[in-house]
């Protein structure tokens, strides 16, 4: 196949791509609504991307154990696919328990010296890593689009966002303060020290192949921990490229290890090892519960970022334009494949029809296609199972009275492309209101009063992302306080940033990632009491 060359100059000269802000919304909306001149130059094919990455040394296929790239010990490999074409990109090492145990040992050995480095030294390593991630932003973004499918501009947004966690951790490393507590007795002195928790097992999903890793590994390393990363076997290439850049940044061997392949075996080894003192996981609620139960055996510290069922509440008094733009971003980011994507759009009866029509018109304008093609706002879903889930939920809803007002079927492009969909007349009994669709479907529910909206929104075991659209300051405070969610966007559809705490209430998880709060997840608190102070 003839391969049009990727326009590197176009990337380099773009002010948009160089913008420092890691808040994603403006960039995302631009990409969803108006293809810029830049995107018109973006058409490339997967083969040329893979060969460019190969020549730059960023296309890695082996795991990283103790600073050495390694095949699976039994030589097994698995394929990584491009979801936009169904073609295999490359074969990677398919590792399991033995490789994981060696990675844990390497991390344990490296911990002895890494945990003794000064905060300033760790900060410099992290800063270097951040700089390299930014230098290689374009290639890393291409890798994300290649293995995950999201539009290239969204991938570039993810690099800014993901690298931002490393930059933030580099800064925050120097602010891990302890305390001096006023002593109850005059001959005592009481101190609180914060110390690294130890070796961390980081298990990450496919929907953000870089950002879900960096928001775990950045703070872990800043605190003095070492890590064994298990990226999703669907999207390991970005993780491996980031690990390669950690080596180039001079981060010592064994501090960052990566094993991938046989997920249950790797997970079991991480859970069983008494040397692993912390598990951090982003993924499904079902797997999170298993990891939490398994961690009890060795009493590990656990952070979990699990599934959501995000309500997006549009009140009669909302600005229609703001509500539509915000909902579009909250729902269709990454083709609906994020834990904070709006899963239920709960609209007050007075604005319902107007909002439904305006949302349908906006969604209709979104171009679906290969993430490397110009103007594309929606890529493919990650795999066939993801499409089947969307189909099942839509079928269940329509069989119970919901109406498809846009889309509602596989896209003519084939593979795992699905038409951006809006369905109306959804109610809380339908499966689509109770399960995370993780796809490009916007289900509209109707409500009468503010109390109804809060009740419907909180009627779920999940509690991660939520959104409110209203022009009333009083209502925005009242509803934000009443929502049983870890994140609330008010008149804003994309609120993720490395400087704010990300995490859920109820069964959406434990702990927080990002911000100063995310650092605590990798620290032990040690109390030291100094006695007999008055004795000469
Ligand atoms: C997720 O889907 O788990 C993360 C989404 C985000 O960071 O905004």
* Cβ within 8 Å of residue 380, ≥6 positions away: 83, 84, 149, 335, 370, 413, 415, 416, 417, 418
Tens-binned pLDDT, residue by residue, of the chain (536 aa): 333 222 222 222 232 223 333 444 434 433 444 433 333 333 456 778 888 888 888 999 999 999 999 999 999 999 999 999 999 999 999 999 999 999 999 999 999 999 999 999 999 999 999 999 999 999 999 999 999 999 999 999 999 999 999 999 999 999 999 999 999 999 999 999 999 999 999 999 999 999 999 999 999 999 999 999 999 999 999 999 999 999 999 999 999 999 999 999 999 999 999 999 999 999 999 999 999 999 999 999 999 999 999 999 999 999 999 999 999 999 999 999 999 999 999 999 999 999 999 999 999 999 999 999 999 999 999 999 999 999 999 999 999 999 999 999 999 999 999 999 999 999 999 999 999 999 999 999 999 999 999 999 999 999 999 999 999 999 999 999 999 999 999 999 999 999 999 999 999 999 999 999 999 999 999 999 999 998 87
Name the residue with the closest Cα to ligand 1, atom 3. Answer: 339
205 Cα to the center of ligand 1, angstroms: 10
Q: Is the CB of 223 under 6 A from ligand 1?
A: no
| Per-residue pLDDT, 12 | 25
Atom of ligand 1 nearest to the CA of 211: 7
For residue 422, what are the β-bridge partners? Answer: 406, 442
Name the residue with the closest Cα to ligand 1, atom 8. Answer: 496
| Per-residue pLDDT, 51 | 82
Atom of ligand 1 nearest to the CA of 502: 7
| Per-residue pLDDT, 44 | 56
Q: Can you point out the beta strands (E) in 73-207?
A: 77-81, 88-93, 179-181, 189-196, 199-203
| Per-residue pLDDT, 53 | 85
Q: Which residues are catalytic?
A: 305, 339
Q: For the chain, first and last CA: distance in Å?
A: 84
Atom of ligand 1 nearest to the CA of 215: 7
346 Cα to the center of ligand 1, angstroms: 21
Torsion-angle region of 515 (φ positive above 0: left; ψ -120 to 50: alpha; else: beta): left
337 Cα to the center of ligand 1, angstroms: 9
SS3 per residue for 300-324: CEEEEECCCCEEEEECCCCCHHHHH
Inter-residue contact 480 to 488 (CB < 8 Å): yes
* Cβ within 8 Å of residue 449, ≥6 positions away: none
Phi and psi angles of residue 380, each rounded to the nearest 5 degrees, phi first: -75, 165
CA separation for the pair 385, 391 (Å, rounded): 10
């Amino acid at each position: 196949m003839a391969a049009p060359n990727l326009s590197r100059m176009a990337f380099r000269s773009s002010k948009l791509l160089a913008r420092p802000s890691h808040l994603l919304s403006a960039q995302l909306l631009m990409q969803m609504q108006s293809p810029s001149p830049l995107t018109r130059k973006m058409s490339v094919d997967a083969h040329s991307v893979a060969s460019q990455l190969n020549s730059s040394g960023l296309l890695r296929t082996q795991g990283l154990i103790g600073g050495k790239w390694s095949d699976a010990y039994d030589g097994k490999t698995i394929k990584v696919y491009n979801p936009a074409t169904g073609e295999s990109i490359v074969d990677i090492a398919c590792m399991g328990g033995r490789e994981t145990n060696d990675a844990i040992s390497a991390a344990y050995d490296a911990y002895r010296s890494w945990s003794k480095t000064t905060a300033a030294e760790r900060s410099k390593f992290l800063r270097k890593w951040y700089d390299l991630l930014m230098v290689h932003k374009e290639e890393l973004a291409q890798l994300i689009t290649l293995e995950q499918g999201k539009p290239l501009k969204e991938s570039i947004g993810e690099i800014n966002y993901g690298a931002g966690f490393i930059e933030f951790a580099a800064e925050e490393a120097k602010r891990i303060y302890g305390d001096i507590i006023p002593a109850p007795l005059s001959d005592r002195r009481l101190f609180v020290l914060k110390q690294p928790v130890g070796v961390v097992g980081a298990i990450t999903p496919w929907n953000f192949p870089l950002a879900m890793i960096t928001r775990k590994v950045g703070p872990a390393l800043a605190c003095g921990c070492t890590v064994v990363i298990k990226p999703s076997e669907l999207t390991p290439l970005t993780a491996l490229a980031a690990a390669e850049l950690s080596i180039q940044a001079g981060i010592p061997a064994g501090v960052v290890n990566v094993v991938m392949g046989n997920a249950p075996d790797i997970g079991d080894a991480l859970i069983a090892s008494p040397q692993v003192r912390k598990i951090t996981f982003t993924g499904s609620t079902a797997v999170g519960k298993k990891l939490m139960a398994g961690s009890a055996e060795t009493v590990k510290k656990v952070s979990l970022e699990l599934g959501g069922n995000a309500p997006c509440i549009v009140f009669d008094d909302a600005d229609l334009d703001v509500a539509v733009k915000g909902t579009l971003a909250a729902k269709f980011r990454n083709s609906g494949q994020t834990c904070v994507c709006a899963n239920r759009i709960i609209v007050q009866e007075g604005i319902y029809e107007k909002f439904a029509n305006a949302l349908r018109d906006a969604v209709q304008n979104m171009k679906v296609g290969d993430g490397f093609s110009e103007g594309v706002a929606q890529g493919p879903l990650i795999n066939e199972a993801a499409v089947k889930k969307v189909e099942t939920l839509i079928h269940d809803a329509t069989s119970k009275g919901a109406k498809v007002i846009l889309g509602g079927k596989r896209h003519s492009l084939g593979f795992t492309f699905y038409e951006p969909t809006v369905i109306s007349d959804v109610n809380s009994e339908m499966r689509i209101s109770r399960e995370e669709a993780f796809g490009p479907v916007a289900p509209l529910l109707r409500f009468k009063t503010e109390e109804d909206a809060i009740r419907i929104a909180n009627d779920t075991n999940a509690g991660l992302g939520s959104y409110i659209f209203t022009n009333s300051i009083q209502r925005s405070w009242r509803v934000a306080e009443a929502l049983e969610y870890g994140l609330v966007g008010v008149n804003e559809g994309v609120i993720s940033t490395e400087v704010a705490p990300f995490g859920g209430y109820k069964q959406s998880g434990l702990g927080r990632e990002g911000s100063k709060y995310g650092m605590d997840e990798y620290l032990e608190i040690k109390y030291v009491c100094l006695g007999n102070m008055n004795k000469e």
